[in-house]
Structure 1
Amino acid sequence: MNINEGLARYGDLSFASAFGIYVLAMVLSVFDLAGSRTKKLEMQTVVGAHTRNSTPQSAPGTPGKVADRAHRTMAERCGRTAVLLCAIGFGFNVAAIILRGLATERWPLGNLYEYALFLCAVTVGGWLLVMTKYPVRALTTFMLVPVIILLFVAASAMYAAPAPLIPALRSYWIAIHVTVIVTASGILLLASLTSLLFLIAQKGPDSKYPLVRKLSSLLPTSDILDRVSYRMTIIGFPLYSVGVICGAIWAEAAWGRFWGWDPKETVSFIAWVIYAAYLHSRATSGWAKTRAAWINIAALCVMLFNLFFINFVISGLHSYAGLN
């Protein structure tokens, strides 16, 4: 199989472009986050004014809306620009994946570098969808930090030159099993990060640490964060379950058994159990949302352990990271 070096080079350029755009978006989103406290106070003032004044608001497209656009704060303008840059970076991120696949004429999930690219694309794409449903734009900073870190690690420690799949991965199951798993992982990553922010919003005002108290004042209400986390987990967990089942079917076809307690299989199962415990705790009366959030964060730690420690340190039947 010949490698198209031109497409591979454009794929690497798309990766670099996505990384740079994400960094710029994160910088701008920091200003949006910093201005979120002021926006909270302004919204409270507006709500109070509306309770005293029953004058109807201007209809969409009227001068009132134009005036509102003209009076946007610098922080809000930075936040909107950050979202636009996230969408552009997402496009380059996806382009890098597609070009890698076209250059190698295979499904672009054959090593850990490509897995990281796909995971970041799912995370950013998922966040763009979340922002259309919930007022969480100011939290873009927290979403982009792990994405940028993972892309940096991917370029510096995970990079693998475009190459054909190794024989063990030459199966249609790679397009099913790995794609479903990485999609679920990106969604669950967002869910767990939001649970962490929920805890800060819930407990931060009473924290003895000034930085935590300050951060909690910048976050949306804990109720919004809890809803985002819960609903993202509801979406991600069934996908993750399907991915694990597909992996077992592929293992039976490739190795003659559905389950062999390989390190990656074992840790993936542990993560599945913890996410199931989180959903069970949310459905059980008497369980505090705070304790459930800690379970979700524990699941994130297991996922990160599986991504980094298992792939970099431990050898097993799933050692296809392209790091050796």
Structure 2
Amino acid sequence: MSVNESLAAVSDHLFSGSIIAYSLGLFALCGDYAFGKSERRERAKLAARERTPERELATVGGGDASGAAPIDALPPVEHAEPVTPSVWGPRLGLVGVVLAALGFALQVAALAGRGIATGRLPWGNMFEFASAICIVAVGTYLVMAVPKRSRRFLGVFVLPPVIFILVLIGLRFYAKAGPVVAPLRSYWLGIHVTAATIASGILLVSAVCSALYLVKRRHEAREAAEGGYVASRIAGNLPSSASLDRLAARTMTFAFPIWTFAIITGAIWAESAWGRYWGWDPKETWAFISWVVYAVYLHARATAGWKGNRAAYINLLGAGTMAFNFIVVNTVVSGLHSYSGL
């Protein structure tokens, strides 16, 4: 099948445009994160005061046998002065979300243009597959951030890995638009690979939330140890660790069944193509390892003593296995799934 070279070239330009839009959006969202710091700082101070036991505010003397002052003798809590709401913060945040949505639209158009130019589904090599994963990751962020302004901050941490991946695949894994290899010319490409793409993009967002949870949890532990608010350039502006933990768990809960479906359909496709459901090919093996790690994460959240930090580390371990499967297995290890396009 011939390739529409002009449309393929337009697709490449749209891909480059999406990187520019994401970069500008990240810049604007960072501005929102910085300008809105005073409001978030005062909310954090109030939350820290609420977590501080009243007995820690007592002065020595005039109290009971323990030496703590009676409640009536406690010094009044110093209330934060009213803070004028930031004007530039929300505006920059809105601009950042709009630019992220623009980058998302450009990237979708780029992938769709490549598919039309080649007359096939546009995720037949590493360049296209990674681009599709980034589309899902940004789409997941937009679904979370558009309804709630309080979640816009996630873009500051989701867009950097997306931009890094797009630049990396553009420089290192770029494949000229063309037909796919014979084993991929199957309707299972639209089922198995699509499911794997959707799950991978959502799992990327879940990993970012778990990483932020660990940062915020450590900051909250410092506040608890010091008995009050502790300034921090990054952690101080994040929502509570409980909120980040919920976001990580919800995205994982949504993605895990899709990843399970991707593995099952991959086995069915393998039986159709190679006459066996499972052969412990390197990519099959690492996909299963990732599945096991994510299953352990979900089980850990339901098990006493394994919630919180341990579960977050398991989620990050799962993200590491996914990255290893995508980069190393596709480019270094020889196997039946070596369709990187390099």
TM-score normalized by the length of structure 1: 0.87
Structure number with greater Rg is 2
Q: Cα RMSD over matched residues?
A: 2.1
In 1, the alpha carbon distance for the partners of 2:163 and 2:231 equals 23
Quote the Cα distance in structure 1 between the aligned partners of 2:278 and 2:231: 44
Give runs of aligned pairs for residues 58-77 of structure 1, distance below 5 A. 72-77=86-91
Partner of 2:145: 131
Aligned equivalent of 1:106 = 120
Q: Deviations over 1:155-211 (max 9, x none)?
A: 10111011111111110000000010010000011111100100100013556xxx9
Hey, what does 2:51 align to over in structure 1?
none
Deviation at 1:27, TM superposition (A): 1.2
- Does the 8 Å contact 1:204/1:215 carry over to 2? no
CA deviation after TM superposition for structure 1 residue 44, in Å: 7.4
AA partner of residue 333 (structure 2): I
- Report whether the alignment pairs 1:230 with 2:230: no
**1:196 counterpart (211, 225, 237):** 211
Q: State the distance in 1 between where 2:132 and 2:43 align.
A: 38
Q: CA deviation at 1:77?
A: 1.4
In structure 1, the partner of 2:65 is none
Map 1:50-199; keep pairs closer than 5 Å.
72-132=86-146, 134=148, 135-199=150-214
* Mapped pair 1:19 → 2:33: no
CA-CA distance at 1:224 after TM superposition: 1.0
Instruction: Indicate whether 1:38 and 2:57 are aligned.
Output: no
- In the alignment, structure 1 residue 263 sits paired with structure 2 residue 295: no
- Equivalents in 1 of 2:220, 2:249: separation in Å? 22
Give, in whole Å, the separation in 1 of the partners of 2:231 and 2:322: 25
| Structure 1: distance between partners of 2:297 and 2:109 | 35
Q: Is the 8 A contact 2:39 2:85 kept in 1?
A: no
Gaps of 5+ in 2: 48-83, 223-229
**Partner residue in 1 for 2:77:** none
CA shift at 1:45, angstroms? 9.8
Per the alignment, residue 258 of structure 2 pairs with: 239
Distance (Å, rounded) in 1 between the aligned partners of 2:204 and 2:141: 11
Amino acid in structure 2 at the alignment position of 1:190: V
SS at match of 1:273: helix
Alignment-mate amino acid for residue 115 of structure 1 = F
Kindly provide the amino acid, as one letter, of the partner of residue 233 in structure 1. M
Percentage identity across aligned positions?
42
**Structure 1 residues 82-125: Cα deviation after superposition (integer angstroms, max 9, x where no partner):** 00000111000100110000000001111000001101100000
Q: Using a 3 Å threshold, how does the CA distance of structure 1 residues 312 and 265 change in structure 2: closer, same or farther?
A: same
Q: Distance in 1 between matches of 2:46 and 2:102?
A: 33
> What TM-score results when the alignment is normalised by the length of structure 2?
0.83
The residue that corresponds to 1:59 in the other structure is none
More helix by share: 1
List gaps (5 residues or longer) in structure 1: 48-69
* Paired amino acid for 1:266: T
- Report the alpha carbon displacement of residue 220 of structure 1 after superposing the two structures with TM: 1.1
**Corresponding residue of 2:69:** none
- Contact preservation (8 Å) 1:116, 1:154: yes
- Tell me, in whole angstroms, the C-alpha distance in 2 between the residues paired with 1:218 and 1:312: 39
* Structure 2 counterpart SS, 1:21: helix
- Counterpart in 2 of 1:54? none
Q: Deviation at 1:130? A: 1.2
Distance 1:105 1:281, change over 3 A: same
Shift of residue 72, structure 1, vs aligned partner = 4.7
- How far apart are the structure 2 equivalents of 1:247 and 1:154? 24
Instruction: Output the CA distance in 2 between the equivalents of 1:148 and 1:184.
Output: 19
Give the equivalent residue in structure 2 for 1:284: 303
- The answer to whether the Cα contact below 8 Å between 2:97 and 2:146 also exists between their aligned partners in 1 is no
Distance in 1 between residues matched to 2:158 and 2:98, nearest whole Å: 15
Equivalents in 1 of 2:137, 2:111: separation in Å?
A: 14
SS at match of 1:321: coil
Query: Shift of residue 42 of structure 1?
Result: 5.4
Mapped contact 1:31–1:78 kept (Cα < 8 A): yes
Secondary structure of 1:120's aligned partner: helix
User: What SS class does the counterpart of residue 175 from structure 2 fall into?
Assistant: coil
